[in-house]
C-alpha cells in the first residue's frame, strides 16, 4: 500500500495566477516523479528527482518548475497558469534501491482547470 | 528507443464476460520490467503487477491473469468474469534496467463493464 498524497485534488483557477501543486510521500522514497495526463489519457513525464536537491526535466517540455528540498516533498509550481495547462497532474515515487523496489506508486492526482 | 502499444483504445463488455487487454512492447534491452496499472474514475493509478523479462511464467491473482510472451513481445492482461467495478483505464508500462527507472507507458485502454 502506497502512502503518497497530493493536494489539492481539484483546482479551478484564472489565467495568470501562480499555483503550487503539492506532493508528499511518507515511505522515505528517494525518487519522485510528476506526470501530466491529457484528457485523451496519455501520460507524459514532466519532472523527476533522484533525491534531495536533484531535479530533472522529463520527456515532455513543461513550463512548470519543481523543487526537492526534503525527501518527502516534491511540489510543482506554475508561475503563470494558462488554459493550456489544464490537465491532470500525477505524482509518483519509488524506492530506487533495487530493480524490484523501483516500482512507482502514484498519488491520487490533481485535476487542474485554468479558465 | 522503447515503445508500448495498447492497440485497444476502448473496450465495452457486459458483466461476467471475460476480457483481454493487449499490450505489445518494443525494447532493445535484454533486461526490462513490465507493469500494469489501473486508473479508476477517481484518477489515481493503482499498481497491479510487475514482471521482469526473465520470468515468463504466467500469473494469476483472483480474477486477474497475465500472459507474458517474450517471443511476441506481449504482456496481455485478462479479467475473468468482469464486474462493473473493473471499469477503468488500464495502462501497460515498460522500464528497462538502465533507464533510470523511467517508465514508458502505453496509451491506455478504457474498459467499460456494463451491468
Quick one: pLDDT at residue B101?
A: 67
Distance from CA of B15 to the nearest CA of A (A): 24
List A22's β-bridge partners, or say none: A7
- Per DSSP bridges, beta strands B3-5 and A65-66 are unpaired
First-residue to last-residue Cα distance in chain B: 41
- Per DSSP bridges, beta strands A31-37 and A19-25 are unpaired
- Contact between B50 and A42 using a beta-carbon 8 Å cutoff: no
- With an 8 Å Cβ cutoff, is A79 touching chain B? no
**pLDDT, tens digit (0-9, with 9 covering 90-100), for B42-98:** 889 999 999 988 888 888 899 999 999 999 999 999 999 999 999 999 999 998 766
Q: Find out whether B77 and B21 touch, Cβ atoms under 8 Å.
A: yes
Residue B109: all three cell numbers together: 485502454
More confident residue, A1 or B5: B5
> Which residue's C-alpha cell is 474514475?
B41
Task: Find the CB nearest B43 among A59, A105, A111.
Answer: A111
Mean pLDDT to the nearest integer, A29-34: 93
**pLDDT, tens digit (0-9, with 9 covering 90-100), for A75-115:** 999 999 999 999 999 999 998 766 555 789 999 999 999 99
Amino acid at each position: 500500500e502506497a502512502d503518497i498524497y497530493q493536494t489539492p485534488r481539484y483546482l479551478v483557477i484564472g489565467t495568470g495566477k501562480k499555483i503550487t501543486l503539492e506532493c508528499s510521500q511518507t515511505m522515505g522514497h528517494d525518487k519522485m516523479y510528476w506526470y501530466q495526463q491529457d484528457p485523451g489519457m496519455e501520460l507524459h513525464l514532466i519532472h523527476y528527482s533522484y533525491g534531495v536537491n536533484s531535479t530533472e526535466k522529463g520527456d515532455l517540455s513543461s513550463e512548470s518548475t519543481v523543487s526537492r528540498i526534503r525527501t518527502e516533498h516534491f511540489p510543482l509550481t506554475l508561475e503563470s497558469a494558462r488554459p493550456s495547462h489544464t490537465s491532470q497532474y500525477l505524482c509518483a515515487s519509488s524506492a530506487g534501491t533495487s530493480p524490484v523496489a523501483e516500482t512507482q506508486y502514484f498519488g491520487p492526482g490533481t485535476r487542474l482547470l485554468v479558465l | 528507443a522503447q515503445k508500448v502499444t495498447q492497440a485497444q483504445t476502448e473496450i465495452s463488455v457486459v458483466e461476467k464476460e471475460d476480457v483481454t487487454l493487449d499490450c505489445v512492447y518494443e525494447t532493445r534491452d535484454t533486461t526490462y520490467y513490465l507493469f500494469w496499472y489501473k486508473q479508476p474514475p477517481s484518477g489515481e493509478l493503482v499498481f497491479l503487477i510487475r514482471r521482469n523479462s526473465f520470468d515468463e511464467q504466467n500469473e494469476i491473482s483472483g480474477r486477474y491473469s497475465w500472459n507474458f510472451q517474450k517471443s511476441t513481445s506481449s504482456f496481455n492482461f485478462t479479467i475473468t468474469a468482469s464486474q462493473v467495478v473493473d471499469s477503468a483505464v488500464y495502462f501497460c508500462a515498460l522500464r528497462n534496467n538502465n533507464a533510470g527507472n523511467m517508465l514508458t507507458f502505453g496509451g491506455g485502454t478504457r474498459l467499460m463493464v456494463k451491468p
